[in-house]
A and B are shown apart, each in its own frame.
Chain A
Amino acid sequence: MAEELKLFRSWSSPYALRVVHALKIKGLEFETVVEDLKNKSASLLEYNPTYKKVPILVHKGRPICESLVILEYIDETWKQSPLLPQNPYDRAMARFWAKFGEDKVFPSIWSVFVSQGKDQEGAMAQAAGNLKYLEEQLKGKKFFGGESIGYLDIAFGWMANLISILEEIADLKLIDAETFPCLSAWMNNFADDPVIKECWPPRDKMIEKFKAMREPYLKQGA
């Protein structure tokens, strides 16, 4: 039965990929509209007038915006393969760590990527501190969700693809297997999962894109 699902995304947005992952894990069919963010469609602007961004999930003609909001919507609408745990405290913990990811982990890793010299050393220490929390959360578990991929794995999924790309461009190691054994193993398990694996954007295009994003910071650096 057609669920009338349409996903507005860009070719590379990690936020949109979260929605792709969730929809695939739930086994849902959906139509994809790939947006050129430099030339946004009238539909995009109509569906997300507040932010004019992707991803947007349109279900039966009604738009839902903001990737983590979309994940919860998907989980509440389709009950198979639950993404969030059942227990209220565990759900709270998943939401807490997802917010930690948005507010602390990603910005700190980005800081490492765009800084140099002494600044970069400081940024590395900050990022490592944040990553240690994730390492702790993974102890004794294959995924943040336990045996199978869940909400928090999807929220952090960008790491499984982007970290190695940033490491290659900046010629440094953010997450090494010795310091972060659980996190390293998780990144491999997540990236290689059959449902997830087929969704990654082309690596060479990603490298090109992020190299270009880093340029302005190198120019202004010491």
Chain B
Amino acid sequence: MAGSGVKVLGSWSSPYSNRVQITLNLKSIDYEFIEENFYMSNKSERLVEANPVHKKIPVLIHDEKAISESLVILQYIDEAWTSNGPTILPSDPYDRAIARFWASYIDDKWFPWLKELEKASGDEGAIVGNIFEGLMVLEEAFVKCSKGKDYFGGDNIGYIDVVLGSYLGWIKVIETGFGLNLLDETRIPGLTRWAQRFCSHDAAKDVVPQTDKLVQFFMMVQATKTNSSSG
């Protein structure tokens, strides 16, 4: 079925935008992608109208209705398109609860440590420790959820895969920038191999950004922040 007016306001560099794109790709839903300069302080009128509360990307526009917050969007896609292949959330309520639990852990507990690393001054060691500890927790979760298959979702990419997978571009930037080996096969073999599979999956391979492009982008945004006047 044609896109019937599906638009994504997002950015190639944003993991939150990436996860929406990957999910739409998984479900073979056509959409128009509109790149927003979200890091600039003056947001486009289009973005402010679509997301007046947060003025942030991503926003999914479907049948002229706007939905914001990436995890809300992912669940909406699952529920609004019911004949586009398997749901990204599992069908069993308990498995769905586990998927939502890990998505929340990844977004609210684990990824903030990576952001903290960026701002760190002296306490990098402790933060890196937390990041590794979190990866061990996620490795265990991967083993339990995948049950020997390729993805957290089993045979197919599922909710947790998309949530964690959308951060892989930035994880590689941090590895490069800080000289770390986060996706270390000797410590987290399951996740390391999963990451390779995820990045080469048809739905994700053109969405997860290349490391060098992201590094350039990061430096450009930092320069913009330094050059712009305060406030």
Give the contact-size bracket for chain B: 20 to 34
Q: Is the CB of A95 within 8 A of B72?
A: yes
CB proximity to A under 8 Å, residues B58-94: 65, 67-69, 71-73, 75-76, 79-80, 93-94
B80, A88: Cβ atoms closer than 8 Å: yes
A66 nearest CB across to chain B (Å)? 6
Complex Cα–Cα for A89 and B72 (A): 10
Query: From B60, which residue of chain A is reached at the shortest CB distance?
Result: A92
CB distance from A22 to the nearest CB of B (A): 13
Cβ distance A220 to chain B, nearest Cβ, rounded Å = 22
Is B137's beta carbon under 8 Å from chain A?
yes
B72 touching A92 by the CB < 8 A rule? yes
Residue A141 interfacial (CB < 8 Å): no
Which residue of chain A is the closest to B76 with respect to CB atoms? A92
Chain A contacts for B109, CB-based, 8 A: 50
CB distance from A122 to the nearest CB of B (A): 15
Residues of A within 8 A of B104 (CB): 66, 69
| Mask: chain B, 5-33; 1 = CB below 8 Å from A; 0 = not | 00000000000000000000000000000
Contacts of B53 in A (CB 8 A): 100, 133
- Closest chain A residue, CB of each to CB of B80: A88
**B39 adjacent to chain A (CB < 8 Å):** no
Which residues of the partner chain B approach A50 to less than 8 Å between Cβ atoms? 105, 109, 137
Question: B69, A64: Cβ atoms under 8 Å?
Answer: no
A33 to chain B, nearest CB (A): 19
| Residues on B with beta carbons closer than 8 Å to the beta carbon of A89 | 65, 67, 76, 80
The contact string, 1 if C-beta is below 8 Å from chain B, for chain A 50-82, is 100000000100101110011011001100000
B65 adjacent to A69 (CB under 8 Å): no
| Contact status B97-A64, CB under 8 Å | yes
Closest 3 CB pairs of A and B: A88-B79, A76-B93, A92-B76
Interface residues of A, Cβ cutoff 8 Å to B: 50, 59, 62, 64-66, 69-70, 72-73, 76-77, 88-89, 91-92, 95-96, 99-100, 133
Can you add 13 more A-B contacts, CB < 8 Å, to A66-B100, A96-B67? A50-B109, A62-B94, A64-B94, A66-B101, A69-B97, A70-B97, A72-B97, A73-B94, A88-B76, A89-B80, A92-B79, A95-B72, A99-B69
